[in-house]
Amino acid sequence: MNEDNNSNFGYDLIRNDVLRQLLGSEHDSLLYWVGKTVARDTELASLDEVVSFFAQAEWGDLERLKEKRSEYIFELTGSWMGRKDKRCYQLEAGFLAEIFERWHELTTAVTYTEKRNSIQFTVHLDRHDPLLMDEPKT
């Protein structure tokens, strides 16, 4: 086992095996909602802060590839990718969905596609479905 594999072993064990056993068939959908909850508890004001958060959380290196009016495409890379990783990326998808919902005040969904050595996230903003954000209490 090389040093990189060894340093991530505990995290990977919990993330890829233990959570899947605990959550069963609801694993993927629950991780999406957990990601949204984590984002609600995290104040991030810019894309640079999101990129830093991903790195600090050891979720990987996030890079914006494209930006359109109602869609953003990101690429996530990490040293573990392409090595038989069983990871589900719904946690990260839910996190991005919540961040973009808060920033744009629009219903947002995030999907992802597994590439050879990366994950591609697509953030979909629904411009026809604005959210009613709570007014701050004074």
1, pLDDT greater than 50: no
Residue with tokens 């690429």: 75
- Token readout for 53 is 């958060």
Question: pLDDT tens, 63-117?
Answer: 999 999 899 999 999 988 877 777 889 999 999 999 999 999 999 999 999 998 9
Burial class (CB in 10 A: 0-12, 13-18, 19+), 66: exposed
Residue 51 to residue 117: CA distance in whole angstroms: 18
Q: What is the model's pTM?
A: 0.85
Three-state DSSP class for residue 113 = strand
Q: How many CA atoms are closer than 13 Å to the CA of 22, on its beta-carbon side?
A: 9
Residues 106 and 132 sit within 8 Å (Cβ to Cβ): no
Q: Which residue has the higher pLDDT, 85 or 49?
A: 49
